[in-house]
Every structure is written in C-alpha cells, then in structure tokens.
Structure 1
C-alpha cells in the first residue's frame, strides 16, 4: 500500500503482532507509513518471523505478567504510539463457564490492556505527548451467545478508553479505540466454525468479513495527527446492519 508518511519519525509498539491478524496488519501499515515499529507477542517463534518480515524490533511479552510488561516498555525506550491489540476469546455459555475461563479472557483482554496502558502513560506523561489505540470489538455493544466473558472484557476496554482519555488529555496524550465486527484471518478460522463465520459474514452489509488491513487503516488514522482532536472515542470498523 502506498505511504502517505502519516507516522514518519514515530516509534510505535503493537502488542499481539505475531501471526496474520489485526496486530500484524497494523504493524505492517505503521511501517509503511514511516514508523519505527516494535512488535510484541507471547508466541516467540511467530513473533521472530513477523519481526523479520517487517524489519521490526521484537520483544516477547505476556501481557498477563506485570514484570514482562515493564521489561517490554523499558526495552522500547521513548514511545510515541501504543497499539493495544492483545486479546483472547473463547466460546462458553455462562451456566457452563468456569471461573478460570472467565478470568483468563478478562486477564488478557481487559487487564492486559490496562497494564500496557498504565505502563505507557507513566512514560508518556513526562514527555507531554503520546497516542494509545485500543482494540475493542462491536461485541462490547452487541450480544452474542457464548461470548459473555469476551463481551464483558471488550466493553471494559471501551470504558477504560473513555476514562483514561480524560485523565491523559491534560498531558497531551490521546486515547481512542477501534471496535471491529468481523476481521478474517487464519487464527480465527481455526477457532471458529465455518457455519458461524458464514452467519457472521452474512450480517455484514458488504456480505463479507473485513480484511485485517482494513481495520489497521483505521488504527493508523487514530495513531496519526489526522485524528489530533479525537480522544475517548470508540470507532466502529463494521458494515454490520441491525
């Protein structure tokens, strides 16, 4: 994709950027827009492969581990943009769900986003600048069976985004989120039945899932100066109709 230099001279950290999903697509688009890109993931082999393809710095990190989060940000150095992409889903109806299933999804998806946001703020506030973009989901607004833990986590990411935006604004820091509906990638195809994927795609106005790069383009916009007056917003990246 052609570059418009939207992130020239910026240092961008993207979590959960291994593989072929939104994180990797975002890291690629940030690099194409001139950023120095740092990628992180807990899957070290896939992370190294992604970093090699992008020419990016790789820092392994499990966002559920505070010590690893701190080590990641220390290794990054001064940071202009954080993209919180790490998240974990699953399917289980609440009556059958275990505490561990609930806690695991919340710990990665919501608390992991909080840990990275907190660490970034502590480094951005003294500099008086920075941008944080969180990956939420339309499921934080809309109901789906078997997704109460994931929906609660993503709704939490939305609320976290709005509250932190107010706290960060006096320090020149913007905090926004994207809320994709359905973005197709290899991992999603492995953990979701073809029937459900077809059903979800049929609910989209375009009759198809988004490509990861289509979500990444909106993240790049929020990371760039083109969204300089936006903070506390959750942008739906969706063609879903009622």
Structure 2
C-alpha cells in the first residue's frame, strides 16, 4: 500500500532524514517511534507532500507520489492528522469538516462527503453535538477528534497520525484510539507517530524506530512488548504517559 524507499529530506539545507525505507501493507497499523528530533514528523510531512524530498521515492499503491504537493497527495488517498491539530478555530465544527472534504474535491452535498460525515459523527458523537460551535472554543480532546474527522472527510485509504494523544487526558486518549482501531477494522491503513511507547505498542502491529533520521529497527509490536530490554535498547525508558490538559 505505502512504500517509502531510501527517502532523505529536511528543511532547506538541513537534512533530517537519511535513506529511510518503510513499507506498510493495506489495512496494517504501523507505528513510527523514536526520541524527540529523530525525524518522525519530518517523515510524515514528507510523505504527505509538505516537505519536498531530497532523494528517494514514495509510492501509494502502484502510484508514484514522490514530490507531489499535499493537495495532490490527498487526492491519491492519503490524509494527515498533524501534530498540534491545526484546526480553524474561528470556524464551526461543521465548516472545518466541510473544508476537509473540499480539499479532495468533495462538496458537502456530495454522497462521499455525506457518508464520511455520518462516519465521523458515529465515531465522535461530541462533534455532532457541537457541529454549530466554533472549533476554537472546544476542549483539546474535542479539537483532536475534529482534526481526525477533518482528515477523514477526504475519504482516505491511508491515515497518517502525528501524536494524536499528545497532552490529552487518559480517558480522551482511550476514546481516540478506540476510534482509530475502528477505522482500521473498516479498512484504513494506519501510520502512527506517537511518543507514548506503551500506547503505540498496544495498538500497532509493526514498529519502525527512527534515531537521528535513520531507521534503526523494524520489529513487530508483539516482540517489543514481550522484550522490554529490546525496547529500552532503542527507545530508552520513555514509557511515560501523556500529561492531561483536556
């Protein structure tokens, strides 16, 4: 489904990723882990077309999406839930969702948009309750639900998530990850960047560990759960929980 080969990228002359390769099968749940500054966000943003690659290739299915801009990548079936949510605070919940569909060419009255909106409101009933509320007045957890919903409005086959549990209360994190699991069961391919190692290992099937812009380990989540020494070797003792603020 998603194949990244020998990818290098960065910001201007600053190279962050060096020859990163990964493969994610259709309907698979893969986590990308590593310390701060390892290049995890850079990887997702390069795949999604926000950062141009220096070299390497990115394929989604049989299509080469290397170097495409993000609006083109969306129309190839990928969606990104960025770190920090980046919702449009002055706009209503429903208007934020509508914009998510428009990026993929789906007007709000389009059957695909209507279907996706129904899915989003079933996953996150709070959004349905607050559809007319300005997004910036909602809690952090509700805003994260909205960020995921906005990405889903493009009807993606691959969902990239950059630390969706960051700064949220445990109960909210649980609800969000239950929704992500439901999306995988519905057929989506999931690529997750997450600082909470235990949380990622509890949900992912396979794991790539980045350090200083390179893949240093590819392993099953099951093995990493069963062998804490292996996890500690590559990830240190960073198994802490996110601090709640919502």
Question: What range describes the TM-score normalised by the shorter chain of this pair?
Answer: 0.3 to 0.5
- Output the TM-score relative to the length of structure 1: 0.34
* Higher normalized helix content (fraction of residues): 1
* Higher normalized strand content (fraction of residues): 2
